[in-house]
Structure 1
């Protein structure tokens, strides 16, 4: 009889130490804090899972993040699915991935209904007035947290900075930035032996994590498992669209949206911002689901609800089906379209993780892969920083100007359009997070209350 690998035995014990019920409670708590896009979401998971609960090691977490960054779709949701799989297998992956998006689905469904029914109101605008600057502060904190944990060598800091400049200044496509960063990481690994060593800030004196950086997952990859996972995933992905075609016809808005967003789900490299321009162009000019400018309002709703920013596609589907319901009641059509779009957007995320994670786990000891993924991790820091700048500029400024200087030709607002109220609320959020050490939810509540006071008070005066 063969002797079991001690690393796999330790991994199995680690998985048993975290009961699924306890992990479910943790994932639900995390799901209520996933504001601020991928930067804030990744920071929340790192704080809870790595620093507080000690369920997973720093480098293991960053390795999983690097893999998820290479996939199409929302990397934060896929990271939650991956870590859930590490802790509790397939059941844990499903629990983590579903709970990560469930609060956002419910919240955006309600907000989409309010938008369709009531449009712009002083009360809603006042709440958003405080929430958006708070998210800017949260993203700024997230950039600092992720950079401290992921950039363990000056060379990686340079890669992160170069990635930021490539994205913000020169508009290099995200896949190209990731590919070049992976190649640079591989080259650096040949010349810098300690490239993948954890940064000093990531090493602490706390208890060892349950899933350490050098343990193997107990589930071995196999062709049979991969084929079964692929078959089940493809059937689940396509089934709702097929049912819609049978019940309401192949030319219905449900089939159009199901096919369109299924395609978008496999080309969303670089996160939500990278694909939103394409979605907006198709939804407005080709399908006529939205009016010009409504995509920005949908993004604002997605920014201020928990979950991935790609959830804005749910808003697009809701509004489009409400206005083109066919023979159905507009409200019923809107809800069904929103849920169908959410399904075809996120089912591929589970498929990518459950199909590839067992193979990726066996490659973690590969030095060349580790070096390449170190470059990808550094690029992720630059990407998150670029998203932070994008969000800050579109929150703190009115889009009334254009900055052109040398190679720069960016639709960024000029200083004269600075929104002083948003700047003050952002400063409040930064003070509460960095100086007072408040939690994300508490900071969001305080800034929302401040925005409500400013907005409603100004309307009454």
Structure 2
């Protein structure tokens, strides 16, 4: 199932050629500031609303599945959508280009940081991007609510999820698990209240077909074998030709484990990585971890890319200030953190297609989308406090009216005037530079 090539002309009348899609994924990797919510908003706005390459129902169905998987859901969604358009090569290109620009930028910043120490001017210069990022999140919230929250129960779940995450500080995986259980209960209740006479759905027919089951299992075996080969190759090379192999083994195994055990996106991964890197392995200090988090916020791509900085500092310190070893550690950290994302998505694509018409899974994923919405609201409030207020409060006297104006202008340009995101990002970056210069005078 995974290896079959999709004919764009058959599935999507407006599907792009491969080169056009590759240009989009590269552009997305360059401009995807603002975290997961903004990434999802950009993809939905471009792929569903503007270009119409992906159907809205397909997009939301895939998003629900990606939210359940371990790892960064925005990158996994990009991988799936790339696969949806152009098969495995499309998924690989989409996933790689989604993180490549941020990895390169963070590598450059890490080298400068290792040589010259803390760089407050970077955060000051890029602070102008934060109002635009907040505008992207708010627009994404509006569109997600309009398109996907169509049932009263979804609004109830979204409200409850926001309350427990914001006020009780419940973790996203816990809330997600509760929503999944509730979704299956609601599906069972609804199934019992309607007639059971219906034709066999597409997913049931697929599962019941031995040939299709065999093909899916064969594809899964091939994907697993290729992934295992890619995972083992650096270990073998370092064992035979490198030095300090115990360090490399520790680094690779830790970030592989991180990719498999963390559910709920960047905000559940980062505390886990920070605690282990600082307290258990002593790869870097707590202030350096905070600086890395700040640097990651100023780069495009997923916030979890901060692990690349952690890997760089681990290699840099272990090999006594070697930039080369730090760079190698950054590359390996990125590989071992994001490789499982490709495996999860490619192995799960038959499940996504089979569950497209499954009533139980549709009910579950509808509630998962409600939890996504709640998490985005919680993130929007978190961003708003840092963007719109001088202090970490919601006091009216501390409101930054210039930032409010930039957010409003960004929403107007993106939502009403349909201005290209790159233009708004450029204006916001210019705003940050000018404001930094004015303050320095």
Distance 2:110 2:25 in 1: 25
Distance 2:100 2:8 in 1: 29
Farther off after superposition, 88-97 or 425-434: 425-434
Q: Does 1:290 align with 2:271?
A: no
1:75 and 1:271 in contact (8 A); partners too: yes
Distance 1:259 1:299 in 2: 22
Match of 1:170 in 2: 168
1:241-320 to 2 correspondence within 5 Å?
A: 241-246=235-240, 247-252=242-247, 254-320=248-314
**In 2 relative to 1, CA 128–33 (structure 1 residues): closer, same or farther, beyond 3 Å?**
closer
The Cα shift of 1:344 comes to 0.3
**In 2 relative to 1, CA 428–301 (structure 1 residues): closer, same or farther, beyond 3 Å?**
farther
**Deviation per residue, 1:108-128 (Å, 9 max, x gap):** 112222222333456424312
Distance 2:291 2:381 in 1: 19
The Cα shift of 1:304 comes to 2.4
Q: Does 1:359 align with 2:351?
A: yes
**Deviation per residue, 1:42-90 (Å, 9 max, x gap):** 1111111111221111111100111111100111111111111111111
Distance 1:97 1:398 in 2: 36
Distance 1:238 1:392 in 2: 43
Q: Number of aligned residue pairs: give it.
A: 414
Q: Does 1:232 align with 2:226?
A: yes
Distance 2:153 2:412 in 1: 31
Among 416, 423, 448, the residue aligned to 2:429: 448
The Cα shift of 1:255 comes to 2.7
Match of 2:198 in 1: none
The Cα shift of 1:396 comes to 4.5
Match of 1:408 in 2: none
Among 36, 39, 42, the residue aligned to 1:41: 39
The Cα shift of 1:270 comes to 0.7
**In 2 relative to 1, CA 391–350 (structure 1 residues): closer, same or farther, beyond 3 Å?**
same
Match of 1:22 in 2: 20
Distance 1:106 1:433 in 2: 27
Match of 1:415 in 2: 395
Secondary structure of the corresponding residue to residue 364 of structure 1 = helix
Q: Does 1:385 align with 2:365?
A: no
The Cα shift of 1:276 comes to 1.2
**Deviation per residue, 1:269-319 (Å, 9 max, x gap):** 111111211211111222222222332322222222221111010011112
1:319-330 to 2 correspondence within 5 Å?
A: 319-326=313-320, 330=322
Secondary structure of the corresponding residue to residue 128 of structure 2 = helix
1:186 and 1:368 in contact (8 A); partners too: yes
Structure with greater helix share of residues = 2
**In 2 relative to 1, CA 10–262 (structure 1 residues): closer, same or farther, beyond 3 Å?**
closer
Secondary structure of the corresponding residue to residue 445 of structure 1 = helix
Distance 1:186 1:392 in 2: 35
Q: CA RMSD in A?
A: 2.8
2:70 and 2:261 in contact (8 A); partners too: yes
**In 2 relative to 1, CA 26–453 (structure 1 residues): closer, same or farther, beyond 3 Å?**
closer
**In 2 relative to 1, CA 340–121 (structure 1 residues): closer, same or farther, beyond 3 Å?**
closer
Match of 2:116 in 1: 118
1:81 and 1:353 in contact (8 A); partners too: yes
Q: TM-score, normalised by structure 1?
A: 0.82
Secondary structure of the corresponding residue to residue 166 of structure 1 = helix
Secondary structure of the corresponding residue to residue 170 of structure 1 = coil
In structure 2, the gaps of 5 or more residues are 192-205, 207-211
Farther off after superposition, 342-351 or 151-160: 151-160
Distance 1:18 1:432 in 2: 26
Match of 1:13 in 2: 10
1:112 and 1:318 in contact (8 A); partners too: yes
Q: Does 1:159 align with 2:154?
A: no
The Cα shift of 1:134 comes to 2.7
In structure 1, the gaps of 5 or more residues are 1-7, 194-215, 401-412
Distance 1:122 1:156 in 2: 42
Farther off after superposition, 238-247 or 283-292: 238-247
**Deviation per residue, 1:363-387 (Å, 9 max, x gap):** 2111111111111111111112222
**Deviation per residue, 1:103-151 (Å, 9 max, x gap):** 1111111222222233345642431221223322222222222222221
1:72 and 1:268 in contact (8 A); partners too: yes
